[in-house]
Amino acid sequence: MIFLNILTIIGFVLLGIIALILLILLIILLWPFKYEIEADYHAKFKAKAVVSFLFHLLRVIFTFEDGKPLLVAKILWFKVYQYDFTDEEEEISEPEFISEPENIDEISGNEEKEVSDEASGEENPEEIPDEEFGPSKEEIDEFMAKELPPESPKSIIDEFFDNIENFFSKIKEKCYNLKRSIKEFQKKYRYYSKMVRYYYKVLHYKSMEPAFQMIKKTIIGILKHVRPRKVRVKIRYGADNPADTAKAVAIYSMIYPYYRKQIRLDAEFNESVFEGNLYIKGHFQLAVLAFYAVRAYLNKHVRKMIKLFTREGKKHG
């Protein structure tokens, strides 16, 4: 009896865990992800994009300001991830330099101090004798006074021809490497040109039209789902030539009846200026995106096209 009660409790716990996992999956799939994009240009460009989920419980924020992009992920007010795209560039492009000459003694140690003291003429009680650093003046004078053994003309000629032989062998090696590189390039060029011609020919077959129609429907459906629900564009524009400003106003008047609430243009005929800001807001659901992707993949024409392309790619490496 006790064993059955334990099994019952374990079963309810497992059911509760499964139900919780299903609930989390349903929330992730059905709850909309909201996105907002703001961009502003007034002498400097700055932008901010935010993707939030579940009443801003989870947020991914991308900012671009002063030429520095930054990506941050937050849960509530707590920062769980941050990536600065400029960190790696600074590590590579900014080597360390010694800023002040007086720091050389601290870095190089006692040996540099001894050398600097010797150069300044100050006496150093711990100075190392000169003979430990090399031959003395007398030894150098004695060596320079000696005569070297005479070289025979044959040895000079042999050395000359050896140098010529080494020179031509290096040129031969360079030519061989260049020839090999050209052959490899030609081989890759022929391979990729064949692949491009093959895929171009396949894509123009009439049997591929149903697959393309399905892919087209999928792309249009995804774009309609993720399209912005709110767009505001405000531009202040003025060219050096007032005629160019008038052309911009004429173009704006053509699209104004369709986007009069979304786009606003303030024309300046007395100065050359370009300023503006952009605001975009929308949302999407993972379930809808997954529906379009699965529907396209389950289409037999699309699957045949994918298998045809992957099989050909594997066949040719």
**Is pLDDT at 15 greater than 60 in this prediction?**
yes
CA 40 to chain centre: 23
Where does a domain end: 92, 114, 142? 92
User: Is the same domain home to 194 and 246?
Assistant: no
**Residues 224 and 266 placed together within one structural domain of the fold:** yes
Judgement on whether residues 298 and 259 belong to the same structural domain of the protein: yes
218 and 311 both lie in a single domain: yes
Pairing of strands 263-267, 230-238: parallel
Number of independent structural domains in the chain: 3
Residue 134 lies in a domain: no
Residue 133: pLDDT band with limits 50, 70, 90: low
Cβ distance 63 to 47 under 8 Å? yes
Give yes or no: residues 220 and 292 share one domain: yes
Q: Are residues 242 and 301 in the same domain?
A: yes
Q: What's the pLDDT tens digit per position in 171-204? A: 988 899 998 999 999 989 988 888 888 778 877 8
Q: Are both 216 and 293 inside the same structural domain? A: yes
In this structure, of 52-56, 71-75, 114-118, 184-188, the range with the lowest mean pLDDT score is 114-118
Parent domain of 227: 206-315
What is the per-residue pLDDT for 122? 46
> pLDDT tens across 273-283, in order?
999 999 999 99
The two tokens of residue 281 are 């807001």
- Copy the structure tokens of residue 227: 């399209």
Do the bridges between strand 58-65 and strand 68-75 make them parallel or antiparallel, or are there none, so unpaired?
antiparallel
In this predicted model, what pLDDT tens digit does every residue of 135-166 receive, in sequence order? Answer: 677 777 676 667 666 655 656 677 777 788 88
28 lies in a domain? no
DSSP 193-205: HHHHHHHHHHHTS
Residue pair 128/111 in contact by the 8 Å Cβ criterion: no
Residue 106 has a pLDDT of 45
Tokens in use for 5? 């009660």
Q: Are residues 307 and 243 in the same domain?
A: yes
Residue 185 shares a structural domain with residue 279: no
Last residue within a domain, chosen from 75, 92, 109: 92
Same domain membership, residue 214 and residue 180:
no
Residues 238 and 304 in one domain: yes
Interatomic CA distance for residues 313 and 280, integer angstroms: 40
Same domain, 179 and 274: no
Is the residue at 300 inside a domain? yes
Q: Are strands 33-42 and 273-284 parallel, antiparallel or unpaired?
A: antiparallel
> Does residue 125 form part of some domain?
no
